[in-house]
Chain A
Amino acid sequence: MKERMSEELVAMRAAKELKDGDYCNLGIGIPQLCASFVPETVKVQTENGALGYGPLLSFADMEKLAQQPELIDELMETRDPDLSDAGARAFSPAPGMSFFDLLTSFAMIRSHRLTSILGGLQVSEKGDLAIHSTSDRDPYPQIGGSMDLAWGAKRVIVAMTHTAKDDTPKIVKRLSMPLSASQCVDLIITDLAVIEVTPEGLLLKEVAPDWTAEEVQSLTEATLILADDLKEVEL
């Protein structure tokens, strides 16, 4: 079995899409990992009401904390209880940072001014996104800000694994999972490939090291169009 790209590499590749002066929002899952790779000239928004904040404090790095328990005390001293992101992770301040209430925050999210990097459960060949639930019978779908972020972004990048754990394709002809927002996805970045959603269909632009276009297609339900300049994923 060939090795796929790690989640960190997928996040690194996704962060490369962010350009100087961009504003972005990072969703739950692999997108959260992008925070470590976002250049300083890109401002990150969190839907609970902050823009342009500094690095996250490493609360999430449980492995490190498990090995060095004294770090927990240190984190508590540096932590400001009033600075936390939508995932309740503490962040540090940065020059130019701003705070606002949720009316302002969601108007911002729907302003088509933010690049939105989201996770995904399924993406269709038309760029329809399923992100909030695996089943129509879900008693409490976890929608959160995902529909607003998918609908209202300047550009939607989905960063996810190429298949489910059992190798079921997540890039499909038509969604079998509940729709979150239709025709919203611009770019799909997975542990196997970089795929652009175009009016003609899904354009395979990059493949993971050691993987061929045919192998990627065999794990993709939708038909992929090969880019003329198809290349290995550039990090």
Chain B
Amino acid sequence: MKDKTCTAEEAISEVRDGYSIAINSWGLTGTPAYLLRALRACGAKDLTLYCNNFIPGISALEEIGLANLTGLLPQLKKVVSPFIGGRAFRNVLAEEEDIFEGRVQKGELEIETSSHGIYIERFLAGAMGSGGIYSPIGVDTVIEEGKEKRTIDGIEYVFQKPIRPDIGLVKAHRADRMGNLVYRGTSRASNPVVAMASKITIVEVFDIVETGELDPEMVVTPGIYVDRIVRIPEDDISSESKTNEVLKMIIKRRIEAEAAMSANPPQS
């Protein structure tokens, strides 16, 4: 069987201008940070990004090269995400928030949002080749604007289109050479649905084992969904020890920011 392992650059060379890219993004856990950096380096533009949470960057992450969605902003024309913006972290993220809002206001960045459940259902529809789903969530809310509504057996539903990304970037805990994947803890999240729904799926892992070494009962994503496997260098910035350094830095900054806030509260 063909070996699916390659470098991040080789894998990301599949990306063309105007492509749609799906990732799992939930803080640092299960986010394909290594491939995201390769995506930035490749310079592809006019991309549509599907992600769980689009929190405009954290500069501490940028400094040490971890996943930073603000850094990706110039390459994006559209973001589809159930949770956009970092208003909750306004005191520490004002600058990134302004870059993001500026692009939205100038019409350079299109935003599409929905409920998280709908977002995931749409991936399932994409994976199944369905024409879409009728979801009970969002009836009479902002979500139904411009969408077909239908009553089935007395219950109202809102139509939602499938998501079928050109490229899925996935983070797994371990892969074998056939691309069978196992995950760990909450880093599983939407990685399995991204792998199933995407036309081309690229996986990053620290650990690649020989075929036959994974317990088939434990495989969550079967290798048929995986086109490319990228091994993250052991000393990479997204390794556990490096991540801990970043987190320490973030915590220290938050402590400083909160101290500054309480010494000098904002006028509102």
Q: Is B64 an interface residue (CB 8 A)?
A: no
* Complex Cα gap A146–B248 (Å): 30
Q: Is B193 an interface residue (CB 8 A)?
A: yes
User: B193–A151 contact, CB under 8 A?
Assistant: no
Residues of A within 8 A of B187 (CB): 81-82
- Which A152-211 residues have a C-beta within 8 angstroms of B? 152, 178-182
The answer to whether residues A145 and B117 also contact, given A82-B187, A83-B186, A102-B189 and a CB cut-off of 8 A, is: yes
Check if B190 sits within 8 Å of A102, measured CB to CB.
yes
Residue of A whose beta carbon sits closest to that of B239: A81
Determine how close the nearest CB of chain B comes to the CB of A61; give it in whole angstroms. 11
The answer on a CB contact under 8 Å between B258 and A83 is no
- B139 touches A (CB below 8 Å): yes
User: Would you give the shortest CB distance from A156 to chain B, in whole angstroms?
Assistant: 14
A148 touches B137 (CB 8 A): yes
**A95 contacts which chain B residues (CB < 8 A)?**
none
Q: Which of A5-13, A35-43, A103-111 contacts B (4 or more CB under 8 A)?
A: A103-111
Beta-carbon contacts under 8 Å, B112-160 to A: 113-118, 120-121, 123-124, 136-143
CB < 8 Å: which of B111, B189, B244 contacts A140? B111
B29 within 8 A of A: yes
Q: How many angstroms from the CA of A103 to the CA of B59 in the assembled complex?
A: 32
Contact across chains for B27 and A140 when beta carbons are under 8 A apart: no
A50 close to B185 (CB less than 8 A): yes
Asked if B228 is an interface residue, CB under 8 A from chain A, the answer is no
**Contact status A148-B116, CB under 8 Å:** yes
Contacts of A28 on B, CB cut-off 8 Å? 88
Taking a contact as CB atoms closer than 8 A, the residue among B30, B83, B120 that contacts A103 in the complex is B120
Q: Is there a chain B Cβ closer than 8 Å to A79's Cβ?
A: yes
B88 to chain A, nearest CB (A): 8
| Chain B nearest Cβ from A140, distance in angstroms | 4
Give the residues in chain B near A65, CB-CB below 8 Å: 251, 255
Query: In the assembled complex, which residues on chain A have CB atoms less than 8 Å from the CB atom of B142?
Result: 133, 136, 141, 178
**Residues in A whose Cβ lies below 8 Å from that of B140:** 179, 182
> Which residues of chain B from 148 to 207 have any CB-CB distance to chain A below 8 Å in the complex?
173, 183-193
Contacts known (A48-B189, A88-B28); A144 close to B82, Cβ less than 8 A = yes
Chain B contact patch, size range = 35 or more
Contact status of A62 and B188, CB under 8 A, knowing A76-B244, A82-B173, A142-B85: no
Number of interface residues of A (CB under 8 A): 51
> Which A residues are in CB contact (< 8 Å) with B189?
48-49, 101-102
Residue of A69, A81, A88 touching B240 (CB-CB under 8 A): A81
- Asked if B90 is an interface residue, CB under 8 A from chain A, the answer is no
Within 8 A of B (CB), among A52-97: 59, 62, 65-66, 69, 72-73, 76, 79-86, 88
User: How long is the Cα–Cα vector from A106 to B120 in the complex, in angstroms?
Assistant: 8
Q: Do the beta carbons of A62 and B255 come within 8 Å of each other? A: yes
Whole-angstrom distance from the CB of B53 to the nearest CB of chain A? 8
Complex CA–CA separation, A84 to B30 (angstroms):
10
- Complex interface: chain B residues within 8 A of A84 (CB): 26-29, 185-186
**Distance in angstroms between the alpha carbons of A225 and B120 in the assembled complex:** 41
Q: Which residues of A contact B83 (CB under 8 A)?
A: 142-144
In the complex, given contacts A83-B185, A143-B143, what are 5 additional A-B residue pairs having Cβ atoms less than 8 angstroms apart? A62-B251, A84-B26, A84-B27, A103-B192, A140-B111
| Residues of chain B whose beta carbon lies under 8 Å from any beta carbon of chain A | 26-30, 52-53, 82-85, 87-88, 101, 104-105, 111, 113-118, 120-121, 123-124, 136-143, 173, 183-193, 220, 240, 243-244, 247-248, 251-252, 254-255, 258-259
Those 7 A-B pairs whose CB atoms lie nearest each other, nearest first: A88-B27, A82-B185, A148-B117, A106-B117, A147-B115, A140-B84, A145-B116
Jot down 5 A-B pairs with beta carbons below 8 A, ordered by A.
A82-B186, A99-B186, A106-B117, A144-B82, A144-B83
